[in-house]
Copies of this chain bind each other. A is one copy, B any other.
Amino acid sequence: MTAAPAVKPGEFRFSAIGLAHPHIDDQCRELIAAGGELISVYDDDPVSVERFRRKFPQAAPARCEREVLDDRRIRLVAGAAIPCDRAALGVRVMRAGKDYFTDKTPCTTLDQLAECRQVVAETGRRFFVYFGARVSPCALFAQRLISDGAIGRVVQVIGLGPHRLSAANRKQWFFVKRQYGGILCDIGIHQTDMFLSFTGNPTAEVVASQVGNYASPEYPELEDFGDMQLRGPNGATGYHRVDWLTPDGLGTWGDGRAIISGTEGYIELRKNIEIAGERTGDHLYLVDRTGERRFDAAGLVEVPFFRQMIRDCLDRSETAMTQAATFAATEIALTAQARAVRVGDSST
């Protein structure tokens, strides 16, 4: 479903800094679709800038980061830097008086998160993160069903986020733990955001977490498996697994699932594919007191995230996602990562 742009032409100009991950293309494309105007780009790698400008020729190449930060026309900087550099970039952007929209994961350490929180408080700027559940039609439809009471009180969320490794297409930083931050930090953060939003908790305790490398001895710093168990103040629990183990035979990059159990029913999301079935994604199954139903969520909900983010920047509102929720999801993922027990090695 499409919707009208959030602004008139020229009302919301933004720039891109940090092109390390191709997610930046999606971030910019969606901001443009929502009415934003991409006017410049900077990265210290000219090859990345050239690649980016083939897709977005309207983005003028800046000579340095400062040129973008000093450009008073720009309201927001979108970025997908190397994960360990994202927080510092955000700090510079916010100190320059602009809002920031980074690819996940926004931070790789709890110290970085503390600094981001402090700079948000000091500057009043916004620090947005590109979380999967905020732009997924089936996740948004699930959220609506839950809010409407379709499954009663939420008891538990199970989230599975398998990904295909595709090692040959990855940049070097992808395999360096200090740079990507660990698997729970890097891709587990989608899960922590999902847990908080589906269960309606402002935060969560990490009950247990694990990481390991089962299938990639050639990349010793890669974690190809991670999981975490969460518990929220309202009594709901979560179990979340992420991995880089998607086999080549699957028709998409990962068979993402979620099962949300409630006191009066449950919901299953098959986000990307039906195994040996439909190639499309966004399938939602609802089982309640009256029966079993299957929905193709893509046609049933719109994704207001990017339009809301633009309005939030202009109106200083919090409709896309609250700043507190963004940082809470980040903190839980970083905490789970920091405490994770190493698994996968045989002890016998």
CB pair B243–A261 under 8 Å, yes or no, is yes
CB pair B346 A259 closer than 8 Å:
no
Whether, in the assembled complex, A322 has its beta carbon less than 8 Å from a beta carbon of chain B, the answer is: no
* A207 at interface by CB-CB < 8 Å: yes
Q: Contact at A294–B266, with CB atoms within 8 Å?
A: no
Cβ–Cβ contact B294 & A263, under 8 A: no
Residues from chain B with a CB closer than 8 A to the CB of A288 are 247, 249
CB atoms of B346 and A234 under 8 A apart:
yes
Do residues B255 and A287 form an inter-chain contact, with CB atoms below 8 A? yes
Output the nearest chain B residue to A290 by Cβ-Cβ distance. B249
Number of interface residues of A (CB under 8 A): 58
Q: Which of A96-104, A224-232, A330-338 contacts B (4 or more CB under 8 A)?
A: A224-232
Shortest CB distance A254–B (Å): 11
What sequence of 0s and 1s flags, for each residue 238-277 of chain A, a beta carbon within 8 Å of any chain B beta carbon?
A: 0101010101111100010001011111101000000111
Q: Cβ of B276 and Cβ of A237 under 8 Å apart?
A: no
State the copy count for this chain.
Answer: 2
| A105 within 8 Å of B (CB atoms) | no
**Sample of 18 A–B contacts (CB below 8 Å):** A155-B214, A155-B225, A215-B263, A225-B237, A233-B346, A243-B261, A245-B263, A247-B264, A247-B265, A247-B266, A247-B287, A247-B289, A250-B287, A251-B292, A255-B287, A275-B294, A276-B292, A277-B294
* Nearest 6 CB-CB pairings of A with B: A215-B263, A276-B294, A249-B291, A233-B348, A208-B208, A247-B265
Q: Report which A residues bind B (CB closer than 8 A).
A: 152-153, 155-156, 158, 160, 162, 207-208, 210, 212, 214-215, 225, 227, 229, 231, 233-235, 237, 239, 241, 243, 245, 247-251, 255, 259, 261-266, 268, 275-277, 285, 287-294, 341, 343-348
Q: Find out whether the CB atom of B247 lies under 8 angstroms from the CB atom of A237.
A: no
Chain B CB within 10 A, most for which of A250, A292, A346: A292
Report the Cα distance A266→B266, complex, angstroms: 24
Given contacts A263-B215, A266-B245, contact A292 B250 (CB under 8 A): yes
In the complex, what distance in Å separates the CA atom of A261 from the CA atom of B347?
20
